[in-house]
Structures are given as structure tokens and as C-alpha cells.
């Protein structure tokens, strides 16, 4: 038999992201026996080690809190085929029938259309900071803003989320009902609203590291929100404060919330008594 070939499927920019949540069928797990459990652990640990780049390819392991699931994983990969293969290799680590998928979410990293443009930065320097375009101070500030913009774009497209202790995830939509139809607002109105929304989020710098991925036309929701934190109260506070922002209060629709602990495979095994 000839070796099968697979296509390479990449985005114009950005990477693919898969969130996976599973329960363990404890009856089947116990029936599989201790030796199988040990083999499963070895396979999972090896798969994580093989996919441990700062951005991608990357497989990150968690345990879910409060019983919605037992195991949670995030897969990052530039190539769609590679993302799909890591997913299948992950499930293949476990004995047949022991994993029950609770929720899955496929999305891609993307740039927001509301981010400052070069023209916005020029207006900021000239109209607000009153700098002359041919001055050294203008050139210095322009270089700072350009570097900040490039760093932001790179992080959005090729994220390197920190290995903080707590991960929260939820999918969301923008409402499309009557007078509260986000997509019937003109761009200027949407951009103004999102500017206020972003200012709330920036207040949590150092407490929350955030990744927004898009899935319109790819999954059942439009965006996925992944929040990394050191403490659960930071997640609670940012989501609560966002509730009073018009973008969320008027136009936001939210799916299930999953709160998870970041655990490496060895700690995961001990925590779940596997």
C-alpha cells in the first residue's frame, strides 16, 4: 500500500484553534485496566511534548471544574490538516469508548476590523498630541505606535497564551433581533461601541490574558472567548463589568461557560484518579 498523502490547508493569515471538552466513561475506563491507563498517559504525554511550540503546533491540557466535563484541551495549528490530525491522535490516546465529547468548538485567529489604522494614528498625533509631521517627536511617536500595532496584530494572529492557572472559555454571538441587530448598525457606530468595550478589557491587563477567535460560517457561534487568569475572581469580575457595557448588555448572546484548571498530563492523571 502506498503512503497516503494529505493536503496542506492554511489560512491567508492566522492559525486554526480547536477547543474540546470530554467526560470519561468511568465504567469503561475501569474495565480497560491499569496497564491501559498507563499506556494512555504515555501516549498523551508524548503527543503534548510533540506539540508544545509557544504558538503552534500546540496541544494544551486542562481539567474542567464543576462537573460539566472532566478533560479539556486546546489545539493550535497553522495547517488545518495538522489541527485535525492532533485532534484524532488525541482521541486515539484513549481506549475506545472511554471519552464522551461534551462540547467542541472550531475557530480561527483573526484581526478585528475595529483596531486603529495608520490613518487613526496620524490623526492622534496631529490632532490630539499636536505634533508636527516633520518633527523628531512625531517620528518617535509614530515608530512607537507602529510597533505597538504590529505587536498587537501578531498576538491576535499567532497567540502565545500564558500557562496561567485558570482558563475560562465561552462562545458568543452578536444579536440580530429587531432594533438590537448588530449587523444593521453602520461601521462607525459599531466601532465606537467596540472602542468602549475594549477599554473595559484593558483595565484587566496583568490579571487576564485574552484570546478572541472567529468562527462565523465555521461553527455554531460567531466567536470564542478564551481567558487565562491566576484566579477565578478575575474571570468573574471582567465578565460582570462587561455586562454593563452596551456591546454585551444590548447585543451580546452567550453560550455555556467552561472554567478549567491548567494541568500537565501527570497532574491531570493524579487529579482525576486515572
Point out the residues that are catalytic.
170
At 60 the three-state DSSP class reads strand
Q: Which residues of 236-248 are buried (b: 16+ CB within 10 A; e: fewer)?
A: ebbbeebeebebb
- Between CA 130 and CA 120 the distance in angstroms is 14
- All three cell numbers of 230, joined, read 491566576
Closest by CA position to 211, among listed 10, 52, 33, 58: 58
Question: From the CB of residue 265, how many other CB atoms can be counted at a distance below 10 Å?
Answer: 20
Question: What is the helix (H) or strand (E) element at residue 40, kind and residue range?
Answer: helix 34-50
Distance from the Cα of residue 70 to its chain's centroid: 19
At 159 the three-state DSSP class reads coil
- All three cell numbers of 188, joined, read 462607525
Question: Are the beta carbons of 122 and 42 closer than 8 angstroms?
Answer: no
Q: What is the DSSP letter of 33?
A: -
Q: Which residues make beta-bridge pairs with 261?
A: 63, 166
Tally the residues of the chain.
Answer: 274
Question: Are the beta carbons of 48 and 268 closer than 8 angstroms?
Answer: no
Amino acid at each position: 500500500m502506498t503512503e497516503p498523502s494529505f493536503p496542506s490547508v492554511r489560512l491567508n493569515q492566522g492559525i486554526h484553534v480547536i477547543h474540546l471538552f470530554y467526560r470519561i466513561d468511568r465504567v469503561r475506563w475501569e474495565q480497560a485496566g491499569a496497564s491501559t491507563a498507563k499506556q494512555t498517559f504515555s501516549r498523551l504525554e508524548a503527543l503534548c511534548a510533540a506539540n508544545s511550540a509557544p504558538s503552534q503546533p500546540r496541544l494544551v491540557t486542562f481539567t474542567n471544574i464543576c462537573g460539566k466535563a472532566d478533560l479539556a484541551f486546546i489545539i493550535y495549528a497553522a495547517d488545518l490538516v495538522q489541527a485535525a490530525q492532533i485532534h484524532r491522535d488525541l482521541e486515539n490516546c484513549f481506549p475506545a469508548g472511554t471519552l464522551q465529547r461534551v462540547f467542541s468548538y472550531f475557530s480561527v485567529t483573526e484581526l478585528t476590523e475595529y483596531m486603529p489604522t495608520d490613518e487613526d494614528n496620524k490623526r492622534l498625533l496631529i490632532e490630539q498630541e499636536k505634533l508636527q509631521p516633520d518633527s523628531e517627536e512625531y517620528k518617535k511617536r509614530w515608530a512607537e505606535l507602529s510597533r505597538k500595532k504590529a505587536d498587537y496584530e501578531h498576538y491576535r494572529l499567532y497567540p502565545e497564551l500564558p500557562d496561567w492557572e485558570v482558563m475560562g472559555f465561552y462562545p458568543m454571538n452578536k444579536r440580530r433581533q429587531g432594533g438590537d441587530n448588530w449587523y444593521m448598525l453602520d461601521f462607525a457606530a459599531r466601532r465606537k461601541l467596540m472602542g468602549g468595550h475594549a477599554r473595559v478589557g484593558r483595565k484587566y491587563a496583568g490579571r487576564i490574558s485574552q484570546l478572541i477567535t472567529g468562527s462565523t460560517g465555521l461553527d455554531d457561534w460567531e466567536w470564542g472567548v478564551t481567558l487565562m487568569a491566576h484566579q477565578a475572581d478575575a474571570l468573574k469580575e471582567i465578565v460582570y463589568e462587561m455586562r454593563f457595557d452596551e456591546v454585551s448588555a444590548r447585543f451580546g448572546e452567550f453560550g455555556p461557560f467552561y472554567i478549567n484548571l491548567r494541568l500537565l498530563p501527570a497532574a491531570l492523571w493524579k487529579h482525576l484518579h486515572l
